[in-house]
């Protein structure tokens, strides 16, 4: 069998340098190599005309349907504003102990909150969301350690307060 990898499925344009950096951090946290795959979903099909946002539950299902024999986990990366029915927006979501998740950088941009664009902050936040969602797929629940990446949060300020690493306890709990 081929070596198991974590797949990042890009939906939209992402800078190669950023993807490489994200991949490096993922491997450091979860010990699996990362493969980057350019997705070809037609996102218009997931657009909700009334909410003017994209349907996060359906996007997650699409990622789950994608079949890569050597993928232990798959995370769909998006640039779109994503919602689920009970929330105004989401940064990402994942199937607990499943193999799929999604993450979007749309709501992570400073511009969204009337602040100056900051590419390095954006990448930092995006990494945290991706690692957090991967953590759920590896069986981690929300953590109360303030700096742990598994700490839950609704606002970018919460993301900025935590690290992009798992705390000791979460690390020891990762399902292998
Ligand atoms: Zn979470
Ligand atoms: Zn933790």
DSSP state of 4: P
Whole-number Å distance, alpha carbon 51 to ligand 1 midpoint, is 23
pLDDT at residue 153, rounded to an integer: 87
pLDDT in tens, the chain (176 residues): 578 999 999 999 999 999 999 999 999 999 999 999 999 999 999 999 999 999 999 999 999 999 999 999 999 999 999 999 999 999 999 999 999 999 999 999 999 999 999 999 999 999 999 999 999 999 999 999 999 999 998 899 999 999 999 999 999 999 65
pLDDT at residue 41, rounded to an integer: 95
**C-alpha distances out from residue 112 to 18, 32, 79, 106, Å:** 20, 33, 13, 8
Among all bound ligands, the one having the nearest atom to the CA of 137 is 1
Size of the chain in residues: 176
**b/e map 103-142, b = 16+ CB within 10 Å:** bbbbbbbeeeeeeeeeeebbbbbbbbbbbbbbbbbbebee
pLDDT at residue 91, rounded to an integer: 97
The residue among 85, 65, 64, 72 whose CA lies nearest residue 26 is 72
pTM recorded for the entire structure: 0.97
Whole-number Å distance, alpha carbon 170 to ligand 2 midpoint, is 4
Among all bound ligands, the one having the nearest atom to the CA of 169 is 2
Question: Which residues lie at CB < 5 A from ion ligand 2?
Answer: 143, 145, 148, 150, 167, 170
């Amino acid at each position: 069998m081929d070596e198991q990898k974590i797949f990042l499925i890009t939906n939209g344009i992402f800078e190669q340098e950023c993807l490489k950096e994200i991949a490096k951090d993922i491997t450091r946290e979860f010990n699996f190599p990362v493969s980057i795959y350019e997705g070809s979903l037609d996102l218009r099909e997931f657009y909700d005309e009334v909410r003017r946002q994209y349907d996060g539950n359906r996007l997650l299902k699409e990622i789950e349907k994608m079949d890569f024999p050597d993928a232990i986990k798959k995370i769909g990366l998006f640039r779109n504003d994503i919602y689920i029915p009970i929330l105004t927006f989401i940064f990402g979501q994942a199937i607990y102990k499943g193999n799929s998740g999604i993450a979007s950088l749309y709501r992570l941009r400073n511009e969204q909150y009337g602040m100056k664009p900051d590419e390095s902050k954006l990448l930092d936040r995006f990494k945290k969301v991706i690692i957090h969602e991967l953590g759920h797929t590896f069986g981690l629940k929300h953590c109360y350690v303030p700096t742990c990446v598994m700490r839950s949060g609704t606002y970018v300020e919460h993301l900025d307060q935590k690290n992009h690493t798992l705390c000791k306890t979460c690390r020891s709990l990762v399902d292998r």
